[in-house]
Amino acid sequence: MGRRSRRSLVRVTRLPRRGRRRAAVHRGWDLTEARRAAWSGGADRADGVAARQARAAEEMRRCLRMQHHAATVPGAAWPARWAGALLCLAVAAVHVVDQGGITVTRDPYYIGVAYHVLEIAAVVTAVLLLTGPVRLGWLLAIGVAAGPVLGYVLSRGPGLPYYSDDIGNWTEPLGLASLAVEGALLLLSVPLFVRSLRRRTY
């Protein structure tokens, strides 16, 4: 064993146990430089992760902007949206005529309240279809169409509580007109609502 090796061994054996391990591992290597290299590598990895996260966040924001643009900016769906809005207004108009005017409330009272709620909902839905979120507009349009259809069937069939005047009156002209408008709105709104779900537009 040479003189230099013996001196190195003496220095190592004089160190504490923990220092011996470090000296054995890092002998001939500058610990400060090793730490700097380790910190530099960790910083580079952290910068890479941060950059990937930033790119993913930017991509998500871009997708959300595109979805919002597709949902609220008119495009090829304008004819369908106008048709849905006009059908909603037609539903409201038919029920206003049926109840005898805007300020009139039909008997029994819960039927009159249901008429007013339907008319307000139909107008709000028409506005949403033209200016607001597409998915919510078509969902409300389904309700505006399906609610009166269900009421028509129940009132002409088994009847409703405290309301039996229309039992069996399936051929009333105003009722048939209302049924036609509501059926058209239902046929229009259901496929478009399903399409908005598939495209994830709002």
Question: What are the structural domain ranges in the chain?
Answer: 3-66, 76-199
Q: pLDDT over 70 for what percent of the chain? A: 67
pLDDT for position 5: 47
CB 123 within 8 A of CB 88: yes
Q: How does DSSP classify residue 94?
A: H
Q: What long-range pairs does 114-118 form, CB within 8 A, spacing at least 24?
A: 114/151, 118/91, 118/92, 118/144, 118/147, 118/148
Average pLDDT over residues 151-166: 90
Whether residue 187 has pLDDT greater than 80: yes
Give, in degrees to the nearest 5, the angle at Cα 80 between 75 and 86.
125
Q: Is the pLDDT of residue 52 over 60?
A: yes
**For residue 30, what is the DSSP state?**
-
Q: Terminus-to-terminus CA distance in the chain, angstroms?
A: 80
Residue 83's nearest CA partner among 126, 46, 137, 51 is 126
Q: Which has the minimum average pLDDT: 14-18, 122-126, 187-191?
A: 14-18
What sign for the dihedral angle of Cα 34, 37, 41, 47? positive
Measured CA to CA, the distance from residue 47 to residue 53 in angstroms comes to 10
Q: What is the pLDDT, as a whole number, of residue 177? A: 94
92: pLDDT strictly greater than 80: yes
Give backbone dihedrals phi and psi of 107, rounded to 5 degrees, phi first. Answer: -105, 145
SS3 2: coil
Cα–Cα separations (whole angstroms), residue 165 to 41, 44, 111, 185: 84, 80, 12, 26
> Average per-residue pLDDT in the chain?
79
Give the model's pLDDT for residue 1.
53
Is the pLDDT at 128 greater than 50, yes or no?
A: yes
> Residues 194, 134: contact at Cβ < 8 Å?
no
Tokens 């871009």 sit on residue:
62
